[in-house]
C-alpha cells in the first residue's frame, strides 16, 4: 500500500475468486495454465490463489500487490461479484465466468444486457460458463498475464470528461446514483430573506420532513416558549438557516436510508458530530463578540462553565475566517456523502474495505501501534485512485451543490496551505468527530476513540486538578507519543496545525465531546 509494505516480487499471480469444485470451466482454466507453464521457467511460472469470498480477493490483492495480473471471478464467489469487478477493474484484468443458474448479471434481460455492456466498457471480460473452455482461456492468459499489459490508464492522465465517465461507469451511475429529493431542491432555490410563507410552500407537502422540523424545534435543544405548529412559525422563530440545515439533514438521511448496509446510523452519527463540531468551533465563545443569533446557537450546546472557559481561552473562532455563504453544519453533514454513495452503487464494497481495515489493524497491533493506514488509502488501494472524495464529487456535480460544499466533499482529506478555511475547519471537525464516532472503522478499530479512552483514564488519576489542566497534562505526557504516531500514520496535513496546534485541538475536542455526543444522538433520534 505504501513504501512500508514489502513488495512481493516474482511469479505472476492469478486470483481465482470461486470455490474449488469439479467444474468444467475450472478444469479448462487449469489445463490452459498448465500448458503455458510448461513453456516457462520455474521463476516465471504463473501461480494461482483461490479465494472463496470477495474480501479474500481483496486480501490477496493486498498481500501480493503487483504480482496479481488477473482475477478470475467464477460463479461460486461468495459476495457481490459485480461489485468486485467494478471496484477492482482498473487494478487487475478481470474475467467473469457467468452461470445464469447461479450468478446471472441481473434479474431480467434488460438489466443483464446493460450490466454486461457497462462491465465490458470497463474492460471486464465476460464469458458464459459453457463457452469457458481451454480455447477461451489460453489466449486470455497469454494476453493478460504474460504480455504485461496493464489493466487501465491512470485517472490522472485522463481529461476531466473521460475521468468522470469512467467513474460513472464503475459506479453504474446511470441506474444506481441517488437523486436529490424535491424538497431539498426547492429549499436550495430559496433565499434566506424569502418570506416564511414561501418557505412553508416549499416544505409543507413533504410530510416526513415537515414532521421532523417541528419535532426538532419543539425539543429541549430549542426550548421555544410556545409550541411550534407550522413551518411558517418555524421559519419566523428559528431562522431560515436552521430550517435549511434540518431539511438537508432529512434529505441525506432519506436518500441513504435505502442502502442495504447496516451501518447507516454509524455514518449518520459521524456526519452529525462533524457538523456539530464544525459549527461550534467557529462560534465566538466570548459574549462580547456574539451576534444575537450566534448567542442563541451557542446556548443550544448547553455547555458548562468549564467548557465555555476552554473555548474562550483557545479562541479558535478568531483563527478561522469563513465566507458569508459557508455553512459549517451542512458542510460537516455532507463531507462524507461519497462513502455512502459508494455503498449504494457498489453493494458489499464495505466488506472489502473493512476486511482490509481489520488486517491492517492486526499488523499494526503486532508492531505495538494503534493504526496502519487511513481508510482513504485503503479505498485508493482497492479502486486505484478512486476514493470517497472522488465518488462524492460526482454526486455533488450531479446534484449541482454549492461550490464550497463540493470542495469540502472532494478535498477534506487533502488540505493544502492555501485551502479555504471552511475546508480546514471540516477537516478538523472530521478528526474530532472520529474520536466519538468513526466511520467506517469502528470505535474499537479507530485510533482516536482509543486515545480518547486513554486520556480519560489519565485524567481520572489526576485528582485535584482542573479538567483543563488534567487533560492538558494527559495529552502532553500520557498519550503524546501515540498521538503523534497516529497523526503521522493517518497522513494528516500539517497545515491544519497552523490554525491551532494539535495538542490544544485535541484538548478542546476532548473537553467538549460529551456535548457533541449528546447533540448528535438527540438529532439522530429526531430525524429517524
Ligand atoms: Fe472522508
Ligand atoms: Fe469523515
278 Cα to the center of ligand 2, angstroms: 12
**Residues 482/365, Cβ–Cβ less than 8 Å:** no
3-state secondary structure of 496: helix
305 Cα to the center of ligand 1, angstroms: 32
Whole-angstrom Cα distance, residue 512 to residue 301? 9
The ligand minimizing its distance to the Cα of 269 is: 2
331 Cα to the center of ligand 1, angstroms: 12
Peptide bond into 440 cis (omega under 30): yes
The ligand minimizing its distance to the Cα of 271 is: 2
The ligand minimizing its distance to the Cα of 274 is: 2
The ligand minimizing its distance to the Cα of 438 is: 2
224 Cα to the center of ligand 1, angstroms: 35
303 Cα to the center of ligand 1, angstroms: 28
**The pLDDT value given to residue 223:** 82
520 Cα to the center of ligand 2, angstroms: 14
| Residue 286 cell numbers, joined | 466570548
344 Cα to the center of ligand 1, angstroms: 16
Q: How confident is the model at residue 307 (pLDDT cuts 50, 70, 90)?
A: very high
**The pLDDT value given to residue 452:** 95
Residues 2-18, mean pLDDT to the nearest whole number: 68
Residue 155, judged by CB atoms within 10 A of its CB (0-12, 13-18, 19+), counts as: middle
pLDDT tens sequence across 52-101: 999 999 999 999 978 899 999 999 999 999 999 999 988 889 999 999 99
Report H helices in 322-384.
328-334, 337-345, 349-366, 375-383
**The pLDDT value given to residue 6:** 39
120 Cα to the center of ligand 1, angstroms: 30
The ligand minimizing its distance to the Cα of 272 is: 2
If you average pLDDT over every residue of the chain, what do you get? 91
What are the φ and ψ backbone dihedral angles of 48, each rounded to 5 degrees? Answer: -140, 155
Whole-angstrom Cα distance, residue 395 to residue 86? 18
Residue 259 has pLDDT above 60, yes or no: yes
The ligand minimizing its distance to the Cα of 411 is: 1
First to last CA, the chain: 38
**The pLDDT value given to residue 527:** 82
Would you give the distance in Å from CA 456 to the centre of its chain? 28
Residue 329: CA count within 13 A, CB half-sphere:
18
**Residues 89/112, Cβ–Cβ less than 8 Å:** no
Size of the chain, expressed as the number of residues it contains: 528
336 Cα to the center of ligand 2, angstroms: 5
Q: How far is CA 273 from CA 26, 53, 59, 407, in A?
A: 50, 34, 32, 19
Our CA dihedral for 401, 403, 405, 407, rounded to 10 degrees, sits at 130
Whole-angstrom Cα distance, residue 135 to residue 139? 7
267 Cα to the center of ligand 2, angstroms: 9
Q: Of 484, 455, 270, 485, nearest to 372 (Cα)?
A: 485
Report H helices in 173-239.
173-176, 182-189, 196-203, 207-217, 231-238
283 Cα to the center of ligand 1, angstroms: 23
The ligand minimizing its distance to the Cα of 270 is: 2
**The pLDDT value given to residue 7:** 40
Region of residue 184 (left: phi > 0; alpha: psi -120 to 50; beta: else):
alpha
Residue 151 has pLDDT above 80, yes or no: no
**Residues 379/60, Cβ–Cβ less than 8 Å:** no
179 Cα to the center of ligand 2, angstroms: 22
184 Cα to the center of ligand 1, angstroms: 23
**The pLDDT value given to residue 147:** 80
504 Cα to the center of ligand 2, angstroms: 21
Whole-angstrom Cα distance, residue 423 to residue 407? 7
Cα 288–Cα 291–Cα 295 angle in degrees, nearest 5: 85
pLDDT tens sequence across 183-235: 999 999 999 999 999 999 999 999 999 999 999 999 888 888 889 999 999 99
The ligand minimizing its distance to the Cα of 342 is: 1
Beta carbons within 10 angstroms of residue 395's beta carbon: 26
385 Cα to the center of ligand 1, angstroms: 15
Strands 68-73 and 93-98: parallel
Which sign does the torsion angle of CA 410, 414, 418, 424 carry? positive
Report H helices in 39-122.
54-64, 81-88, 109-121
pLDDT tens sequence across 354-375: 999 999 899 989 988 888 888 9
**Residues 224/184, Cβ–Cβ less than 8 Å:** no
The ligand minimizing its distance to the Cα of 414 is: 1
Q: Of 160, 89, 91, nearest to 126 (Cα)?
A: 89
**The pLDDT value given to residue 156:** 75
480 Cα to the center of ligand 1, angstroms: 25
469 Cα to the center of ligand 2, angstroms: 29
What are the φ and ψ backbone dihedral angles of 127, each rounded to 5 degrees? Answer: -135, 135
Would you give the distance in Å from CA 283 to the centre of its chain? 27
Q: Of 441, 432, 444, nearest to 511 (Cα)?
A: 432
pTM: 0.92
Element (H, E) at 96: strand 93-98
| Residue 331 cell numbers, joined | 458542510
Q: Which residues pair with 96 in a beta bridge?
A: 73, 126
**The pLDDT value given to residue 235:** 93
**Residues 85/73, Cβ–Cβ less than 8 Å:** yes
The ligand minimizing its distance to the Cα of 389 is: 1
427 Cα to the center of ligand 2, angstroms: 8
335 Cα to the center of ligand 2, angstroms: 6
Q: How far is CA 305 from CA 168, 313, 468, in A?
A: 50, 12, 12
472 Cα to the center of ligand 1, angstroms: 28
The ligand minimizing its distance to the Cα of 391 is: 1
Q: Of 16, 73, 51, 91, nearest to 380 (Cα)?
A: 91
Whole-angstrom Cα distance, residue 360 to residue 176? 30
388 Cα to the center of ligand 1, angstroms: 7
Q: What share of the chain is helix, strand, coil (3-state, %, to 5)?
A: 65, 5, 30
The ligand minimizing its distance to the Cα of 433 is: 2
The ligand minimizing its distance to the Cα of 428 is: 2
84 Cα to the center of ligand 1, angstroms: 22
Amino acid at each position: 500500500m505504501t513504501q512500508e509494505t514489502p513488495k512481493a516480487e516474482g511469479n505472476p499471480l492469478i486470483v481465482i475468486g470461486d470455490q474449488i469444485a469439479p467444474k468444467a470451466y475450472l478444469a479448462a482454466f487449469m489445463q490452459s495454465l498448465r500448458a503455458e507453464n510448461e513453456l516457462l521457467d520455474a521463476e516465471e511460472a504463473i501461480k494461482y490463489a483461490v479465494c472463496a469470498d470477495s474480501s479474500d480477493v481483496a486480501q490477496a490483492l493486498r498481500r501480493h500487490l503487483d504480482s496479481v495480473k488477473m482475477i478470475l471471478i467464477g460463479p461460486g464467489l461468495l459476495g457481490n461479484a459485480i461489485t468486485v469487478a467494478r471496484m477492482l477493474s482498473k487494478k487487475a484484468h478481470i474475467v467473469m465466468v457467468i452461470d445464469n443458474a447461479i450468478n446471472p448479471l441481473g434479474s431480467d434481460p434488460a438489466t443483464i444486457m446493460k450490466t454486461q455492456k457497462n462491465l465490458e466498457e470497463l474492460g471486464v471480460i465476460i464469458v458464459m460458463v459453457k463457452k469457458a473452455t481451454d480455447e477461451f482461456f489460453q489466449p486470455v492468459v497469454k494476453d493478460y498475464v504474460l504480455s504485461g499489459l496493464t489493466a487501465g490508464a491512470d485517472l490522472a492522465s485522463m481529461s476531466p470528461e473521460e475521468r468522470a465517465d469512467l467513474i460513472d461507469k464503475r459506479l453504474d451511475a446511470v441506474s444506481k446514483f441517488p437523486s436529490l429529493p424535491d424538497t431539498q431542491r426547492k429549499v436550495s432555490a430559496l433565499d434566506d430573506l424569502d418570506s416564511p410563507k414561501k418557505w412553508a410552500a416549499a416544505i409543507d407537502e413533504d410530510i416526513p420532513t415537515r414532521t421532523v422540523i417541528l419535532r426538532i424545534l419543539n425539543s429541549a435543544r430549542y426550548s421555544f416558549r410556545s409550541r411550534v405548529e407550522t413551518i411558517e412559525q418555524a421559519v419566523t422563530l428559528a431562522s431560515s438557516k436552521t430550517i435549511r440545515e434540518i431539511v438537508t439533514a432529512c434529505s441525506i438521511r432519506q436518500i441513504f436510508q435505502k442502502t442495504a448496509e447496516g451501518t447507516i446510523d454509524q455514518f449518520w452519527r459521524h456526519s452529525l458530530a462533524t457538523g456539530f463540531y464544525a459549527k461550534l468551533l467557529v462560534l465566538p465563545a466570548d459574549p462580547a463578540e456574539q451576534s444575537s443569533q450566534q448567542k442563541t446557537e451557542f446556548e443550544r450546546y448547553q455547555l458548562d462553565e468549564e467548557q465555555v472557559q476552554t473555548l474562550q481561552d483557545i479562541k479558535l473562532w478568531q483563527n478561522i475566517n469563513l465566507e458569508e455563504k459557508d455553512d459549517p453544519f451542512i458542510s460537516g453533514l455532507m463531507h462524507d456523502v461519497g462513502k455512502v454513495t459508494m455503498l449504494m452503487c457498489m453493494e458489499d464494497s464495505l466488506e472489502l474495505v473493512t476486511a482490509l481495515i481489520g488486517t491492517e489493524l492486526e499488523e499494526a497491533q503486532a508492531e505495538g501501534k494503534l493504526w496502519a493506514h487511513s481508510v482513504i488509502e485503503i479505498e485508493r488501494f482497492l479502486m486505484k485512485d478512486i476514493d470517497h472524495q472522488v465518488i462524492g464529487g460526482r454526486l455533488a456535480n450531479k446534484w449541482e451543490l454549492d461550490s464550497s460544499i463540493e470542495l469540502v466533499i472532494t478535498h477534506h482529506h487533502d488540505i493544502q496551505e492555501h485551502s479555504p478555511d471552511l475546508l480546514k475547519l471540516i477537516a478538523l471537525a472530521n478528526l474530532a468527530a472520529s474520536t466519538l464516532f468513526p466511520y467506517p472503522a469502528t470505535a474499537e478499530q479507530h485510533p482516536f476513540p482509543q486515545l480518547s479512552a486513554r486520556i480519560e483514564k489519565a485524567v481520572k488519576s489526576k485528582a485535584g486538578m482542573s479538567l483543563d489542566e488534567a487533560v492538558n497534562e494527559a495529552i502532553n505526557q500520557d498519550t503524546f507519543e501515540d498521538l503523534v504516531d497516529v497523526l503521522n500514520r493517518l497522513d494528516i496535513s500539517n497545515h491544519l496545525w497552523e490554525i491551532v496546534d494539535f495538542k490544544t485541538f485535541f484538548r478542546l475536542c476532548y473537553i467538549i465531546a460529551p456535548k457533541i455526543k449528546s447533540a448528535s444522538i438527540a438529532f439522530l433520534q429526531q430525524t429517524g
